[in-house]
A and B are shown apart, each in its own frame.
Chain A
Amino acid sequence: MTTAQVNSYRTGPDEKGLFGIYGGRFVAETLMPLILELEQAYKDAKADPSFQAELDSFLEHYVGRPSPLYFAERLTEHLGGAKIYFKRDELNHTGAHKINNVMGQILLARRMGKKRIIAETGAGQHGVATATACARFGLECIVYMGSVDIERQKPNVFRMKLLGAEVVPALSGSRTLKDALNEALRDWVANVEDTFYCIGTVAGPHPYPEMVRDFQSVIGVETKRQMLAREGRLPDSLVAAIGGGSNAMGLFHPFLDDKEVEIIGVEAAGLGLRTKKHAASITGGRPGILHGNRTYLLMDDDGQITEGHSISAGLDYPGIGPEHSWLHDMKRVQYVAATDKEALAAFQLCCKLEGIIPALEPSHALAHVMKIAPMRPKDHLMVMNLCGRGDKDIFTVADILGVKL
């Protein structure tokens, strides 16, 4: 790929749903009319001020937005360099950024007259957010979840059930997030009339990467406003963790054309990039086609998809949103990786210094902050997206630390 200058990094995707060569609509013919219908419905909603007003109202009163931009003073002192801010999306209702996107999609589903909602989930956060919004609006909710993940994330499975959702185990393939996505697509093919597929990240066929990005962009829009109010200028750098990449895209997108802002996405390096046990699609994968879009993927030499591994169940997806792939090729965003071990150390440090138990996903972003903040001057403003809280992860962490609960 060339890195030819573009006037703006924020105009994508094109009418075919492409960001450069990434994205697209690689789906079975049965789904094509539905995807075109969704694209049109989203276009109409976007142009309708009453849709945005309704969404804003739910984000304020139900989700609890805006989330604070918090100066992490003790962490800043400890690292001795850049001034570190946390964007506190872990304070949202349901404990993560996922609900921002879900509210948007569920309001759209209602607008389209769809009564049955399906979703995929890995760690369970997107499933819980979807079950929550469905309960709020009285919609039928079916969540596909790999049977391996159901075993690993029992508290979230119970939460979804309490909220009235049906949790269906994905028993095919490797029985994790990618297989849950396959099962959700299979459901959609069989139930085209009444079903809305609520995808949890900036992946899938067009228009999902664009739509989910737009709904998550509230994170970056708020950050910009809050930083201008606090410091009178834009941040110098942004850091966010990436699985599929929705929290990162939400923070990054409003800043893409502010060329002085350094932007860094942190993938999960698992046991290390030299092992096969990681989930770093960009730093350790290559372009291919899966789940409706072309993007960087983890796969073998024959084009067979391999498993991602990460301590964080929310990051072990073998792909990444197509817009991230494009931003990588264009060199606008820098993609790095943090290991399980580094994320765990960051998790513990955040608990002790800031009194915040972060999810293991943003702990990867924090691990990178710990690496680079000490080398930056004291007037460097760094924002890290604290996209989820860690209550769901205490069992995993206790297990690794050898503590019996």
Chain B
Amino acid sequence: MTGRIERRFAELKQKGRAALVTFVTAGDPDYETSLKIIKGLPRAGADIIEFGMPFTDPMADGPAIQAAGLRALHSGQTMKKTLKLVREFRAGDKETPVVLMGYYNPIYVYGVDRFLKDAKAAGVDGLIVVDLPPEEDDELCLPAIAADINFIRLATPTTDDNRAPAVFRNTSGFVYYVSVLGITGTKAPDIKSVGKNVNRLRKHTSLPIAVGFGVKTAVQARAIAKNADGVVVGSALVSAIKDSLTKAGKPSPKTVKAVHLLVSDIARGVRS
């Protein structure tokens, strides 16, 4: 059976363009604003939506996404509320794929079986869990596949030809290629080497490959979209949220709009 992610990539392939995958942290800067932001993302040009599940100790994330997680946690975001956010989004949008991204501990503490059941019911299509490499597939990857949720794997510049088969063995939906050695939102990707690595990985998988980490502008997005099936933008959106906040750190009337404007701009880059 085909899921939303598979359908979305197939549609876009027919249209001959890459997907724009947008990342925002669930509950940043607060629940209500976050809901408004995500509800407007598809209209602004997002093809796939990633929600970060906030965590106190995000070891693969740079300062922008770390701060977004803490903003969300301080405003009272919990795993339950993140799933509720997906449910509310899904009530108004049956087709846009939703991927939850984060770290294992909040899922483990929620309970793996309970989490998969509630996530499926809420309308979650895929999971990206940064600290679960293939060596730990028994933990969540295999149960997620059994629950009919895509388990999307990160491939990195250190994923060489020896390691690639293990990385792609139990993955589905798409592959998230981390374009730089490092954490989110810091270095800018080197377009040439990204293209080379994406082509190298295609020898190991027939899944669509989306490229992320460090993509901030429409120009970068366009360049990457030439070689990839998707472009992920995260830190730039999260920074747009931060820049729109009042001095007290509260959402301003500009907050929701700032994110949507940036998404529209980058979407034009991906589609041109």
Q: A33-B160, A173-B66, A302-B109 are in contact. Are A27 and B181 (CB under 8 A)?
A: no
- Chain A residue total in the interface (Cβ 8 A): 36
Find B158's partner among A29, A186, A288, A301 (CB 8 Å cutoff): A29
Among A178, A299, A304, contact of B73 (Cβ-Cβ < 8 Å): A304
| Residue A190 CB within 8 A of the other chain | yes
CA distance A193 to B6 in the complex (A): 36
Report the minimal beta-carbon distance from A146 to chain B, rounded to whole angstroms. Answer: 13
**Bound state CA distance, A189 and B158, in angstroms?**
10
Complex contacts, B110 vs chain A, CB 8 Å? 302-303
Given A178-B57, A186-B62, A299-B105, 8 further pairs, Cβ under 8 A: A29-B178, A30-B181, A33-B159, A173-B66, A288-B108, A289-B103, A297-B105, A303-B109
A294–B109 alpha-carbon span in the complex (Å): 12
Indicate which residue in A33, A172, A189, A191 contacts B63 across the interface (CB closer than 8 Å).
A172
A residues within 8 A CB of B178? 29-30
List residues 78-109 of chain B with CB under 8 A from any CB of chain A: 78-79, 103-109
Is B10 part of the contact surface with A, judged by Cβ < 8 Å? Answer: no
The yes or no answer to B3 lying at the interface (CB within 8 A) is: no
The answer to whether B136 touches A24, judged by C-beta atoms less than 8 angstroms apart, is yes
- Mask for B207-241, Cβ within 8 A of A = 1, else 0? 00000000000000000000000000000000000
When the two chains form their complex, are residues A173 and B136 in contact, meaning their CB atoms are under 8 A apart?
Answer: no
* Size bracket of the B interface: 35 or more
Within 8 A of A (CB), among B51-85: 55-60, 62-63, 66, 70, 73, 78-79
A317: shortest Cβ distance to chain B, in Å?
12
B163 at the interface (CB under 8 A from A): yes
What are 22 A-B pairs at a CB distance below 8 A? A24-B136, A29-B153, A30-B157, A30-B158, A33-B158, A33-B163, A173-B56, A185-B59, A186-B60, A186-B62, A189-B60, A189-B181, A190-B181, A192-B158, A288-B105, A289-B104, A290-B57, A292-B131, A297-B105, A303-B55, A303-B108, A304-B56
Q: Does B245 contact A (CB under 8 A)?
A: no
**Inter-chain contacts of B133 with A (CB < 8 A):** 25-29, 32
Q: A55 within 8 Å of B by Cβ? A: no
Contact of B70 among A173, A182, A301 (CB under 8 A): A173
Name the residue of chain B whose CB is nearest to the CB of A30. Answer: B156
In the assembled complex, which residues on chain A have CB atoms less than 8 Å from the CB atom of B107? 303
Whole-angstrom distance between the Cβ of A47 and the nearest chain B Cβ: 23
Query: What's the Cα separation between A228 and B153 when bound, in Å?
Result: 54
Determine if B158 and A305 form an interchain contact, defined as CB atoms under 8 angstroms apart.
Answer: no
Which residues does chain B contribute within 8 Å of A29, judged by CB atoms? 133, 153-156, 158-159, 167, 178
Q: Is the CB of B109 within 8 A of A288?
A: yes
Interface residues of B in 154-180 (CB under 8 A from A): 154-160, 163, 167, 178
In the complex, the answer to whether A289 meets B63 with C-beta atoms within 8 Å is: no
Residue B132 at the A interface, CB < 8 A?
yes
Q: A26-B136, A29-B159, A303-B79 are in contact. Are A289 and B59 (CB under 8 A)?
A: no
The 5 closest A-B pairs by CB, nearest first: A303-B109, A190-B182, A303-B106, A30-B156, A26-B131
Any B CB within 8 A of the CB of A72: no
Contact B56 A305 (CB under 8 A): yes
Known: A24-B136, A25-B135. A289 touches B105 (CB 8 A): yes
Residues of B within 8 A of A31 (CB): 158
For the complex, give the distance between the alpha carbons of A33 and B156 in Å: 10
- Chain B residues near A186 (CB, 8 Å)? 59-60, 62, 182-183
Cα distance A26–B73 when bound, in Å? 23
Q: Which positions 292-339 of chain A face chain B at CB distance < 8 Å?
A: 292, 294, 297, 299, 301-305
Q: Quick one: CB contact mask for B131-152 with A, threshold 8 Å, 1 for yes?
A: 1111110000000000000000
A120 to chain B, nearest CB (A): 12
- In the complex, residue of chain A having the shortest beta-carbon distance to the beta carbon of B132: A26
Would you call B130 an interface residue if the criterion is a C-beta within 8 Å of the partner chain's C-beta atoms?
yes
Enumerate chain A residues within 8 angstroms of B130, measured Cβ to Cβ: 28
A26 and B133 alpha carbons, distance in the complex (Å): 7
Interface centre among B59, B106, B109, B182 (most CB of A within 10 A): B59
Distance to closest chain B CB from A194 (angstroms): 12
Q: Which residues of B have CB within 8 Å of A299?
A: 105, 109
How many angstroms from the CA of A302 to the CA of B155 in the assembled complex?
Answer: 28
Instruction: Specify which chain A residues have a CB less than 8 angstroms from the CB of B134 in the assembled complex.
Output: 32
In whole Å, how far is A197's beta carbon from the nearest beta carbon of chain B? 12
Tell me the chain B residues, 190-212 only, with Cβ under 8 Å from chain A. Answer: none
Contact A16/B135 with A172-B66, A182-B59, A290-B57 known, Cβ cut-off 8 Å: yes
Q: Is A277 an interface residue (CB 8 A)?
A: no
A356 contacts chain B at the CB level, 8 A cutoff:
no
Q: At the interface, yes or no: A341 with Cβ under 8 Å from chain B?
A: no
Q: When chains A and B are docked, how far (Å) is the Cα of A294 from the Cα of B112?
A: 15
Least Cβ–Cβ distance between A119 and chain B, in angstroms: 16
Nearest to A302 among chain B residues (CB) is B78
The complex places the Cα of A58 from the Cα of B159 at a distance, in Å, of 37
Q: With A and B bound together, what is the CA distance between A28 and B183 in angstroms?
A: 10
- B104, A26: Cβ atoms closer than 8 Å: yes
Whole-angstrom CA separation of A16 from B60 in the bound complex = 22
Instruction: Judge whether A34 is part of the interface by a CB distance below 8 angstroms.
Output: yes
Contact string, A1-43, partner B, CB cutoff 8 A, digits 1/0?
Answer: 0000000000000001000000011111111111000000000
CB distance from B174 to the nearest CB of A (A): 15
8 Å CB contact of A291 from B59, B60, B132, B163 = B59
Contacts of B60 in A (CB 8 A): 28, 30, 186, 189
Please report the C-alpha to C-alpha distance between residue A301 and residue B155 in the assembled complex, in whole angstroms.
32
